[in-house]
Amino acid sequence: MVCGSTQGIGRAAAQELAVRGAAVTLVARDAEALVRVLAELPGTGHATRAADFHDNDAVAHAAAAEVRERGAIHVLVNNTGGPPAGAIVDASPDAFLAAFRAHLINNQILAQAVVPGMKDAGYGRIVNIVSTSVREPIAGLGVSNTVRAAVAGWAKTLSGELARFGITVNNVLPGFTKTSRLDALIAGRAKAAGRTEAEIAQAMVAQVPAGRFAESWEIAAAIGFLASPAGAYITGVSLPVDGGRIAAL
């Protein structure tokens, strides 16, 4: 089950897992987009589930229906769009609550739905697409920095509880990746600074030792490895895939 799978990293993750032989269930709110991505996946046995991640009840219903109708889920990729940018001092309490529900609460709902089947199989992989902000907060993403850190803490706790069942829980921390989210971030920074988007993009690339933005498939490759049998002894980690941008060890 791959959430937020109609674009960007989620879409690339679905393609990566399908190439590796998984039967993938795509989850997102846009039913038409889900059908388009479904048609692109190699292999067979794929399906879609439409659910709006701003509606916890809809996510719970979709997860329950998936398990009931298609059986156990062995790999869960938690992924959804980030909260709007902005200074933390300007954020309303409702902005924090909405982001908390869209990210951490949905992760919890989905984990509770799939973990029983993972335990029965003696195999499970939960991979959360988070952000490098869990290591170094990113300026101008106050709500996101806060909620992503909460998700990382949730994942670390869950990993310790589930490891003995053959279930791993890990976070992937994408760096600056060519997605619509990055485009929006660049546009917002350019407007706030009175500079061109090209200037902002160049300044961001200058922060990356690799000298470029990531492609979505590069993030997906890390997700695919963590989801595979080869990743069985890796759990409770937050893996940066960021071209070396994080300065901390």
Give the pLDDT confidence score for residue 186 in this predicted structure. Answer: 93
Give the pLDDT confidence score for residue 248 in this predicted structure. Answer: 83
According to CATH, what is the number of the domain 2-175+215-240? Answer: 3.40.50.720
If pLDDT is split at 50, 70 and 90, which confidence band does 145 have? very high
Over the stretch 47-85, which tens digit does the pLDDT of each residue have? Answer: 999 999 999 999 999 999 999 999 999 999 999 988 988
What sign for the dihedral angle of Cα 215, 219, 221, 222? Answer: positive
What mean pLDDT do residues 158-184 have?
Answer: 96
- For residue 96, pLDDT over 90 is answered with yes
- For residue 249, pLDDT over 90 is answered with no
Sequence ranges of the domains in the chain: 2-175+215-240, 176-213
Give the pLDDT confidence score for residue 164 in this predicted structure. Answer: 98
Give the pLDDT confidence score for residue 148 in this predicted structure. Answer: 96
- For residue 160, pLDDT over 90 is answered with yes
**CA-wise closest residue to 81 among 49, 51, 50, 54:** 54
Over the stretch 177-227, which tens digit does the pLDDT of each residue have? Answer: 999 889 988 998 999 899 999 999 999 999 999 999 999 999 999 999 999
Q: Strand pairing of 75-78 and 47-50?
A: unpaired
For 188, the token pair is 């917002």
Mean pLDDT of the chain: 96
